[in-house]
Structure 1
Amino acid sequence: MALSIWEALAVFAAGTGAGTINTIVGSGTLLTFPVLLATGLPPVTANVSNALGLVPGSISGAIGYRAELRGQGRRALVLGLTALIGGLGGAVLLLALPSEAFDTFVPVLIALALVLVLMQPRLADVVRRRRGDAGATNRPYGGPVLLVGLLLASVYGGYFGAAQGVLHLSLMGLFLDEDLQRVNAVKNILGAVVNGVAACVFLLVAEFDWTAVLLIAVGSALGGQIGAKVGKRLPPSALRAVIVAVGLIAILQLLLR
């Protein structure tokens, strides 16, 4: 489908904004997806084109956070493999189920994630104390509860992806004894993995619009660098506030859609 110059500029701008937001928090899909629908693309085609276009943005954001990833190679590998399996399952579900299948559950998932983000410092202290009382050592991969939670969040990410970064951040912030910025760096890796594996599936079997994909790809790659520069300057309390604000906007947009 041919885009007008104004539609192309709108898609590029949305891609840039999505890449920026995804690197800092997540939820960039809530910018790009409505814009793609407004250009006349069918929902599934828009969803697939969006997933493909956001892959460079996730990679760009991860590169921007490379300093915070130092010493987390094994953790990123283990959690990344979990995200890969979940993202693959979500992509298959997208092709098999109607695009509205998760609509009822998504706002609830995001709301629960925001509660976890707000309560993360206290909950993390409780988790650490219980581990200490039980004589357990710190788990670099967060334990089985985190792995299962990330698997399910990545299934959702491969299926639609709006606010998957919020879900990933809330889970890792609770179960990993790490600075929030270092957790955010791993979140960008997980986003790249989920979007990447979904994109591979979509390239083989789904319909997409190459013009939209390229515009979002270039914009999101630029946004990934912007997001890394902005996000790393935010103290934990400010980053947490941004996460909650974006998550609330995501919930409102999904409920009013």
Structure 2
Amino acid sequence: MSVVEMVLVLLAGAGAGIINTVVGSGTLITFPTLVAFGVPPVTATMSNAVGLVPGNVTGSFGYRRELAGQASLVRRLIPASLLGSLVGAYLLLHLPEDTFIAVVPVLLVLALVLVVVQPPLQRWLTARREASGADAVTLDTLGTPRMVAVTAAVFLCGIYGGYFAAAQGILLIGFLGLLMPLALQRMNALKNVLVLGVNVVSASTYIVVATWGGGTHPLDWTAVGLVAAGSLVGGVIGARVGRRLPPLLLRACIVVLGVVALYSILGMR
């Protein structure tokens, strides 16, 4: 990478760290940036997953107050995230790259649709929670059938996140909001922890494979370092001041970059 490209990847990592903490689709910034600078799609996905972990950590820590009282939910749901992530990472590493190039445009379109529909979805979820009058959720209040549904949804989101991380946070917010009467900020805190679990597992898997896999699935360590440094700072900013950023501007940037990524992937066919 040139110096200019390195600076742009660093800035993309910071933007992704902010957006992942606040909205949940930062990969739609870093992934197209890496692809545009010549990183192969599978390598870009793996390097991006590893690089975004520091931002997930700082973002989750920044929402620690909203996590109060949710320890039982986290303990119950985190195994589903971890297992789903392993399945997704396995699929990414074992399916041919042609399959990835064929599947990613579909996932990108899904992610972009989720980004666009998130505002009306959030308004509907807020109205639903206010009508229920619930602000806290426990395993007892959920009941077994709903807990099974929530766990299954988290598992499926984990598979999606382990294979292609873009907008997995938005997907989680959608499922959790439909299934649990939980305040939005508390739900966002839970989402950040579950996404952190997914990304830690997938990133660890990619590092092991890149180190001992005989070079079949390499990481771009320059990209990893730049995205990691940017996302680390971005996660802190997102937890502190990210809510003040104009949502429309954030969403517009995500959609534009997502379209760029879609065009880049389609051009590789």
**TM range, normalised to the smaller chain?**
0.7 to 0.9
Preserved CA contact (<8 Å) 2:46 2:219: yes
Q: 1:151 aligns with which of 155, 176, 182?
A: 155
Q: Deviations over 1:81-134 (max 9, x none)?
A: 1111111110110001232242354224663686576345656849x87xxxxx
Rounded to whole Å, the distance in 2 between the matches of 1:71 and 1:140 is 17
* Cα pair distance change 1:140/1:39, threshold 3 Å: farther
After TM superposition, list the pairs within 5 Å mapping 1:102-117 onto structure 2: 102-103=103-104, 105-106=106-107, 107-108=109-110, 111=113, 115=117
Q: Deviations over 1:154-188 (max 9, x none)?
A: 10111111111110111111212111000000111
Residue 28 of structure 1 is matched in structure 2 by 26
Q: Taking every aligned residue pair, what percent have the same amino acid on both sides?
A: 44
After TM superposition, list the pairs within 5 Å mapping 1:109-188 onto structure 2: 111=113, 115=117, 118-119=120-121, 122=124, 125=128, 138-139=141-142, 142-188=146-192
Aligned-pair CA distance for 1:77: 1.9
Give the TM-score, by structure 1 length: 0.82
Give the TM-score, by structure 2 length: 0.79
Gaps spanning 5+ residues in structure 2: where? 133-139, 211-217, 265-269
1:223 and 2:226 matched: no
- Per mean C-alpha deviation after superposition, the further-off stretch among 178-187 and 223-232 is 223-232
Preserved CA contact (<8 Å) 1:21 1:28: yes
Rounded to whole Å, the distance in 2 between the matches of 1:190 and 1:247 is 22
Rounded to whole Å, the distance in 2 between the matches of 1:46 and 1:116 is 26
Aligned-pair CA distance for 1:140: 7.5
Aligned-pair CA distance for 1:22: 0.3
Preserved CA contact (<8 Å) 1:75 1:140: no
The DSSP-based 3-state class of the residue aligned with 2:182 is: coil
Q: 1:50 aligns with which of 43, 48, 51?
A: 48
Preserved CA contact (<8 Å) 1:163 1:250: no
* Cα pair distance change 1:117/1:250, threshold 3 Å: farther
Aligned-pair CA distance for 1:40: 2.0
- Per mean C-alpha deviation after superposition, the further-off stretch among 143-152 and 21-30 is 143-152
Preserved CA contact (<8 Å) 1:117 1:173: no
* Cα pair distance change 1:109/1:13, threshold 3 Å: closer
* Cα pair distance change 1:203/1:249, threshold 3 Å: same
Query: Considering only aligned residues, what root-mean-square deviation do their CA atoms show, in Å?
Result: 2.9
Q: Which aligned segments of 4 or more residues in structure 1 are displaced greater than 3 angstroms?
A: 108-117, 119-126, 231-234, 241-257
The DSSP-based 3-state class of the residue aligned with 2:241 is: helix
Question: Where is the helix percentage greater, Structure 1 or Structure 2?
Answer: 2
The DSSP-based 3-state class of the residue aligned with 2:64 is: coil
* Cα pair distance change 1:250/1:58, threshold 3 Å: same
The DSSP-based 3-state class of the residue aligned with 2:103 is: coil
- Per mean C-alpha deviation after superposition, the further-off stretch among 146-155 and 161-170 is 146-155
Preserved CA contact (<8 Å) 1:23 1:228: yes
The DSSP-based 3-state class of the residue aligned with 1:8 is: helix
Gaps spanning 5+ residues in structure 1: where? 130-136
Rounded to whole Å, the distance in 2 between the matches of 1:36 and 1:104 is 16
Rounded to whole Å, the distance in 2 between the matches of 1:242 and 1:181 is 20
Preserved CA contact (<8 Å) 1:138 1:177: no
